[in-house]
Structure 1
Amino acid sequence: MVGRFAGTLSPRRAAVLVALLVALTGCSTRGEPSHATKGCPSTADPAGLACRITSAARTSHDPDASANQLANAGRLAENGYQLLGDHPEWDTAVLAAVDPSLREQVRRAVDAYRQLLSLSGPPGANLPAWRVVDPLPVDVLRGLYDRAQRRFGVDWTVLAAVNLVETRMGRVVGLSSAGAQGPMQFMPATWAAYGLGGDVWDPRDAIMGAANYLASNGGADPARLDRALHRYNNDVRYVRAVRDYAAMLSADPNVLVQLHAWPVEYRTVAGDIPLPTGYESAHPIPVGQWLTVHPLPQGEG
């Protein structure tokens, strides 16, 4: 979303932003992985929610957890944060019930969700012209963030948070040649100035370009980071969400495993529709048309 809010916001740029935020703030009610929820109440209430969030965090820190279990724990944590984000009346009870070491993480995750949700606008009538792919492995992405930090001084946690908010760490690939491009969402003119001659669609080049852009606007200095993020996207809610996710990673770098597992969902007039790896369309798809072929399992949406 680099440069998208510089000066007057055009309708086309606003539409791109809203589409991305809608996809990244869908409230999930998918089935829950048994490994992460073992021993937790099945009811959707504060006690059960606190148990699931705590269990997901424990799985994420379990050195014997399989890759599938880690991914499921990440998705479970996301579901929990979103459910709590939609029920502010549960905040006090859930925060009192979660493991004390997780309280600040939960506050941050829920605040980020609420900030982005406030930017997302009304539900869409069409699914987007996107391709959804698997992101690079988490250890590869961490290496790219670290490399960019060493070169430009922008903290790796900020780069990871921007990557998450922009495209779910590279999961969302927009097929339009207009507007923002690549996993870090650069406008073409901005990429030409800060992309270091790389390929805007290559995660390695895009992350390095984002670090270059942020550093050029003061992002290597913690006292000027907000200004740099405002240059990336001139909305205080965006800045606050990025700062929330970066703070989560700073407090516990292992949270990257959870964030990396978060899938793409699209908020529509018919409910929240998951866009799995392999989803691809060159044109917007009416929601009804999609659901005729891909009905949601009972209880979803």
Structure 2
Amino acid sequence: MVAVVLALLPRAASAQDPGAGPNAHHEAARIIAAELAMQDASTRLEALAAEKPSGLAESVRHELAVSAATYRFRQAARLEELRVYELGGYASVESAVVPLLPSGMRGSLHDSISALHSLFILAGIDEYYLVNVHFTHAYFDAAPLSSLRSFYLEAQRRYGVDASYLASINFIESNFGRVNGPSTAGAMGPMQFLPGTWNNYGQGGNVMDPHDSILAAARYL
């Protein structure tokens, strides 16, 4: 895949209309590079998880190595997310970038951009390039993806609310639990419940707990 990245890089810089969208080859190269960085970081973390450090010095070294690999993964994920938002603003660039990517990446990228467009439309935005995204929340504040998925599916089984709908609400309300409030209206938790509504649907759970909050949202709906 490294060869693909190098092949996508432009041979020379050229002037570009500031009103035009981003360069397709640049975007594809950056997306692939971010994917490679995440794969490398994941491999490193798996190897570190299998290690059993002995002694204080080895434990400190191991902890620092885990922190470094975790940071590299988060940084690459943030860079790829930025590229997805960038492409989400320019349909013509998206259509030019997707064919430049390895086949295994095309479907997920297209799905991510389509999901963004759906969210923009729900917010009343039909000119996607006007969206100005701010990356201000820590990546590690959300529950693990596997846990969130299991909570959505449990709520779907128990209350008949589609898991994707619950995931969308979780994203819109709190960025998957990264911004748990209180809001200006006093709403709290991953699904942003007002105190009175939580009393009615929380069934004695913890409003800040993603499992309790997601199930309560399904009950409410």
Same fold per TM (> 0.5)?
yes
Map 1:152-163 → 2, pairs under 5 A: 152=159, 154=161, 156=163, 158-163=165-170
Number of aligned residues: 175
- Aligned residue type for 1:64: T
SS of 1:201's partner is: coil
TM-score (norm 2): 0.59
Determine the structure 1 residue equivalent to 2:198: 191
2:161–2:218 contact (8 Å) kept in structure 1: yes
2:174–2:180 contact (8 Å) kept in structure 1: yes
- Aligned residue type for 1:75: R
Determine the structure 2 residue equivalent to 1:46: 24
Measured at CA, do residues 41 and 209 of structure 1 come closer, stay the same or move farther in structure 2, by a change above 3 Å? farther
SS of 1:173's partner is: coil
Q: How far did 1:93 drift?
A: 0.7
- Alpha-carbon deviations, 1:198-235, whole Å to 9, x = none? 23233231122123334xxxxxxxxxxxxxxxxxxxxx
Q: How far did 1:154 drift?
A: 5.0
Task: Give % identity.
Answer: 35
Bigger radius of gyration among the two = 2
Q: How far did 1:175 drift?
A: 3.0
2:180–2:192 contact (8 Å) kept in structure 1: no
- Aligned residue type for 1:112: A
CA distance in 2 between counterparts of 1:180 and 1:70 reads: 32
Q: How far did 1:143 drift?
A: 5.0
- The answer to whether structure 1 residue 117 and structure 2 residue 120 are counterparts is yes
Determine the structure 2 residue equivalent to 1:106: 109
**Counterpart selection for 1:169 from 164, 176, 181:** 176
SS of 2:43's partner is: coil
Determine the structure 2 residue equivalent to 1:182: 189
Q: How far did 1:164 drift?
A: 2.1
Determine the structure 2 residue equivalent to 1:56: 34
Larger RCO (CA under 8 A, 6+ residues apart): 1
Measured at CA, do residues 152 and 61 of structure 1 come closer, stay the same or move farther in structure 2, by a change above 3 Å? farther
CA distance in 2 between counterparts of 1:134 and 1:91 reads: 30
CA distance in 1 between counterparts of 2:206 and 2:141 reads: 19
Normalized per residue, the structure richer in strand is: 1
Determine the structure 1 residue equivalent to 2:92: 89
Measured at CA, do residues 96 and 58 of structure 1 come closer, stay the same or move farther in structure 2, by a change above 3 Å? same
1:198–1:205 contact (8 Å) kept in structure 2: yes
TM-score (norm 1): 0.46
1:59–1:65 contact (8 Å) kept in structure 2: no
- Aligned residue type for 2:87: L
Measured at CA, do residues 123 and 80 of structure 1 come closer, stay the same or move farther in structure 2, by a change above 3 Å? closer
2:153–2:163 contact (8 Å) kept in structure 1: yes
Structure 1: segments with no counterpart, 5+ residues: 1-34, 215-301
| C-alpha RMSD over aligned residues | 3.9
Q: Which runs of 4+ in 1 moved over 6 A?
A: 120-124
Q: How far did 1:94 drift?
A: 0.9
CA distance in 2 between counterparts of 1:159 and 1:189 reads: 20
Measured at CA, do residues 92 and 143 of structure 1 come closer, stay the same or move farther in structure 2, by a change above 3 Å? closer
